[in-house]
Chain A
Amino acid sequence: MNTRTTNKRRLRAELPLHLMLVPGIIVTLIYAYGPMLGIVMAFQKFKPLLGFFKSEWVGFKNFEYVFNLPDFTQVLWNTFFISIMKIAFGLLIPLILALLLNEITKNWFKRLIQTSIFLPFFLSWAVLGGVLIEIFSLKGPVNGLISAVGVEPIMFMGINEWFVSIIIGSDVWKGMGYNMIIFLAAIVSINANLYEAAEVDGAGKWKQMVHITLPGMAPIIILMCTLSLGGVLNAGFEQILILYNPAVYESADVIDTFVYRLGLFDQQYAPAAAVGLFKSVISVALVSLSYYLAYRLTNYRIF
């Protein structure tokens, strides 16, 4: 009896907390869990008119179909290659920049550089895509520069090798400011006494960087490497979608753009959903692995 009344009282005290969660739960149920259930369409001969419940079940037929498409292996490889390159350069270059910027003693200059480098991060790929296409166009300034030294104009956006380099380069360019700020914060948090002690011991700036700064940043570097592992199958959907064209599908078509064209352009909903599910399953494994590694190596937790 006694426990029941306290239970009742607790429930009443907690009631507002449950109520507050209601809107968030509804939205999450519909738009996050809904699509998760909707994945059943990957195993159906899905027809939008029949919906998820009445479409015919076909087992793994859709998977067989897409895995046997001639482009599929190439798409997987493109995704993997572009991602790894973006991760490698996307971490290395901001790391170097942070180390270089840290050597600047004038604060206004430091802030000016940091603010400028940060700019592309805040702009959408719609805007950045427009800028890049203009700059690398046949009559654009980049071709203007190279023709000034006597090189024939290059169709950067239409040649596979150039295009992929631009994809990787512009992604690094956009994210540079973001990662640099994380690295700078890591440098600032290193104990200043260490540098004083090193100076007393006669260590120069280079030795200080190798023996104090870099080891001090190691946890954050390891953390960022492991966390980016989880995104290996996201090669940058919006960026590629806005920049690519049929001439460079061979090297720049990635899983997400493939799903988009297959599903929403060719309206092959079920095969596209199958590719999406394939990607989600591998991604979940990778993300779990990356969080596990991040936790084991650097004690990182999201909550």
Chain B
Amino acid sequence: MSYKLPLGRKIFIAINIPLLIGIMLLSIVPFVHLLAVSLSSNAAASSGQVKLWPIGFTLDAYQFLGQKAEFIKSLGISVQRVFLGTIINMLLVFLTAYPLSKTNEQFRFRTGYVWFFAVTMFFGGGLIPTYMIVKETGIMNTIWALILPGALNVWNMVMMLNFFRGIPRELEEASKIDGAGHWSILWRVYLPVSLPSIATIGLFTIVGHWNSWFDGMIYMNSPANYPLQTYLATLVTAINVKSITIDDLSALQNLSEKTLRTAQIFLGALPIMLVYPFLQKYFVKGITVGSVKE
């Protein structure tokens, strides 16, 4: 490090650091505001006084949510979806990536299969025909409508495939000599050495399932089956006025709709906010490898 910086450099640093801090605040402050509103009294929140610190601090909104059936139910469906969906997605990624990671000489039909899957990366039937097929296959209004249509993410599969290809052939040959078949090579050799990649793909899959809301909105006939993000989306677009039941009305009188809404949105974002800073390196890896799509 040089001790005497040229003047131009000093000016640059004096501008650069505040500028970057400004951008950083732009990404964080909206969520601080959201939290502040959700913790404020309803009068302060609805009159728009609250900026970054709660006014008339109260936990009422959060306490009310604790007994709000729709919120709790949709949270449960989201958890179920993330759990089941991630397991199925990952299994399909493993099972599909393994055979396709072989050479053409080891697996003669490889090229044909690769094309079969690759086509779907570039061409799709679009929203309406997909909706019709989901309807025809009878999974509407069940959790499977949120899992099966996207059960094989081809982008993730390609990423896994490329990683499998980097595994030294000797590892496979050695276990073959010990009499291992393809199944045990996949489970006992490939997967254990692929843990970082599995973590990367798994995290993107978890976040993807947690964040999806549009599929819930079109495939679920009744709001009772909405996952959390779909429920939040209906709050936000306010098309779901009817779902406030009579029981809630009395409690609502003490609560502005705004504090309640912001509290729910904040809770919908909270799990990710808490977790991603610590797992960032896996996300960064997935992004720079370039094959994981949101």
Contacts and interface: CB of A to CB of B under 8 A. Distances in A.
Interface string B264-275: 010011001100
A103 B9 CA distance: 10
A120 B148 CA distance: 27
A100 B280 contact: no
Interface residues of A, number: 91
B140 to A, nearest CB: 12
A116 B24 contact: yes
Nearest to A15: B182
A303 B27 contact: no
Interface residues of B, number: 104
A181 interface: yes
Contacts of B106: 14
Contacts of A39: 125-126, 129
B40 interface: no
Nearest to B183: A16
Contacts of B236: 126, 129-130, 133, 242
Contacts of B136: 34, 51
Contacts of A263: 127-128, 131
Interface in A135-149: 135, 137, 139-141, 143-144
A117 B211 contact: no
Interface string A106-133: 0000001101111111111111011111
Contacts of B269: 123, 127
A238 interface: yes
B99 interface: yes
A155 interface: no
A211 to B, nearest CB: 17
A186 B35 CA distance: 36
A234 B182 CA distance: 41
Interface stretch (A68-76, A83-91, A160-168, A273-281): A273-281
B28 A116 contact: yes
The listed residue with most B CB atoms (<10 A of its CB), out of A134, A140, A277, is: A134
A273 B265 CA distance: 33
Interface in B232-266: 232-233, 235-237, 258, 261-262, 265
B194 to A, nearest CB: 16
Interface string A179-192: 00110010000000
Nearest to A133: B236
B126 A20 contact: no
B280 A118 contact: yes
A231 B144 CA distance: 28
Given A122-B272, A139-B47, A100 B287 contact: no
B98 A20 contact: yes
Interface in B78-112: 91-92, 95-96, 98-100, 102, 106-109
B3 interface: no
A24 B132 contact: no
B58 interface: no
Contacts of B232: 124, 126-127, 130
B123 A134 contact: no
Contact of B158 (A120, A141, A259, A303): A303
Interface in B114-142: 114, 116-118, 120-137
Given A41-B132, A116-B24, A241-B214, A24 B117 contact: yes
B291 A134 contact: no
Contacts of B151: 27, 31
Interface string A248-282: 00000000100110011000010011001101100
Contacts of A182: 287-288, 290
The residue in B132, B137, B268 that gathers the most chain A C-beta atoms within 10 A of its C-beta is B132
Interface in B204-248: 207, 210-214, 218, 229-230, 232-233, 235-237
B209 to A, nearest CB: 11
Contacts of A21: 95-96, 99-100, 113
B212 A124 contact: yes
Interface stretch (B15-23, B64-72, B166-174): B15-23
A16 B182 contact: yes
B152 A28 contact: yes
B8 interface: yes
B149 interface: yes
A139 B272 CA distance: 28
A287 interface: yes
B56 interface: no
6 contacts: A18-B99, A38-B130, A127-B269, A204-B6, A276-B129, A277-B126
Given A124-B211, A178-B287, 7 more contacts: A17-B102, A31-B134, A101-B20, A137-B48, A141-B48, A143-B48, A303-B158
